[in-house]
Amino acid sequence: MSVQPFNLTEIGSLASQIGASAPACKDIPSSSSSALRVAPKAYSGSLDKYASFKVTPNIGLEFSNLPLASLTDQQIEDLSILISQHNVVVIRGAHLTPQQLLDIGRKIATPKGTLHIHPITAEIPGRSELDELTVVSNEIVYGGENAPASDGWHSDISFEPNPSSYAALQIVQGPDAGGDTQFSSGYAAYDRLSKPLQRFLETLNGENDGNAFHEVANKSNIKIREKRGAANVGTDLRSVHPLVRTNPVTGWKSLYVSKAFTKRIVELPKSESDLLLNFLFNHIAQGFDFSTRVKWNPGDIAFWDNRSTYHAATKDFDESILRRGIRVVPLGERPYLDPASVSKSEAVKAVKDAKL
C-alpha cells in the first residue's frame, strides 16, 4: 500500500480561500498580510514504493521495510514531512548503528546538523561525539515510582528556548511484553476544543520547567550541561512558549502544553492557571481516540514531531528487566503561533470542499 500523505500542495493552493496563505512562489507576490510565516512543505511521493499503513485515522504511520540508512536526501525530506503530518512514524526492524542514527538525526534537524545535548548527559572524556546520543533506560527514574503513567505526557525538552523539532528512538533491548510508548496528537487535541476556548488559548503562554533535572544530576553526580545546542544555554531550564503553536512543516496549529513540563500560564493568576492546565492535561490524557500505542521489538525506530505530538512511557513491566534505547533529538525553531495558520481539520476540510 502506498503512503497516504495529505496533499499539501492542494492545501497551499486553497489557502487564500480559507484565510490562510499560499506557499512562496516566484510568480506570486509574497507581500500579502495573510501569508504564512513559513510555507508548508509538500510531500513528493518518493517513499510511495515502500509498504506502509496508517495506524489510526488521527495519528500514526508504519513502515515494515524502509531502508533508512540508504535513503536519499529527498526521501529523508519526505520522511520528515510524513512524520509532521502523521505525528509518529514507526519503522520496524531498522537496526541502525548509533552513527547512522546520528546521521539521519542531523539531516532532519532544522537547521540541518543541530542536535540536542541533554542537560544530564554525562561527559565521557575523549568521546564528545556521543554527547548528542541519549541513552534511554529504565535504570534512570525521573518521576515518583508510583506516579500514574498519565503524569508523564510530554513533548521533549519544551523547557528549552529552541525545543525539539523531531525525535528518533531506537529500542535496543526490552521486555517481551510491556514498555510500550503512548503517542498523542497535539493537532487533534487543539481541534477537539471549542472555538471560544481555542481563541482564548491562542492569547496565552506557558512556562515550561525542566529544573527537576538538577535533582537527577545531583543524585547521579553529573554536572548540568550548559551548552545544549542552538540558543539552549545556561543552567536555568525554563522557557516560555505559546500554548498554541504553528507547525512550520504542515502549517497546522497544535496545542503545546504538557503535564511533565508546563507549570503555569504566565498571563493568569495561579488559581486560574492551575484550573485551566489541569483541564488541558486531562483533555490530553483522555484523548484515546487521537492517540496510539507503539509496541517495540529490538531494532524498531519511532520518529515523532515534538512540535505537535505528546508521548508517555508505560512502566508496566518488572523493574528487573532492562529496557534500553538510543535517541537523537534534532532541534527546531523557537515556537511561534502564526495567526494565518489553520487547524488540521480546517485544512483537510478545505481540500475536501474544493473537490466537491
Q: Which residues bind Fe ion (CB under 5 A)?
A: 156
CB of 142 to Fe ion, least distance (A): 10
> How many residues in total does the chain contain?
356
The catalytic residue among 78, 156, 209, 305 is 156
154 carries an active-site annotation: yes
The catalytic residue among 118, 228, 327, 338 is 327
Closer residue to Fe ion, CB minimum distance, 15 or 237:
237
Closer residue to Fe ion, CB minimum distance, 155 or 246:
155
Residue 175, exposed/middle/buried by CB under 10 A (0-12, 13-18, 19+)? middle
Cβ-closest residue to Fe ion?
156
CB of 20 to Fe ion, least distance (A): 31
Residues 6 or more apart whose CB falls under 8 angstroms from that of 48 comprise 2, 3
78 carries an active-site annotation: no
327 carries an active-site annotation: yes
Look at residue 106 and give its three-state secondary structure: helix
CB of 155 to Fe ion, least distance (A): 8
Closer residue to Fe ion, CB minimum distance, 190 or 304:
304
Question: Is-contact 63 70, C-beta < 8 A?
Answer: no
300 carries an active-site annotation: no
Closer residue to Fe ion, CB minimum distance, 96 or 260:
260
The catalytic residue among 228, 241, 307, 311 is 311
CB of 154 to Fe ion, least distance (A): 6
Residue 109 region by backbone torsions, left for phi larger than 0, else alpha for psi between -120 and 50, else beta? beta
CB of 301 to Fe ion, least distance (A): 14
Closer residue to Fe ion, CB minimum distance, 41 or 228:
228
DSSP characters over 168-218: EEEEEE--SS---EEEEEHHHHHHTS-HHHHHHHTT-EEEEE-THHHHHHH
DSSP characters over 1-56: -------HHHHHHTGGGGTS-PPPBTTB-S--TT--SSPPP---STTTTS-EEESS
Closer residue to Fe ion, CB minimum distance, 71 or 284:
284
The catalytic residue among 86, 118, 154, 323 is 154
CB of 303 to Fe ion, least distance (A): 13
CA geometry: angle 245, 206, 189, nearest 5 deg = 50
Cis before 269 (ω within 30):
no
Distance, in Å, from the CA atom of 307 to the CA atom of 327, rounded to the nearest integer, reads: 17
Residue numbers annotated as active site = 154, 156, 311, 327
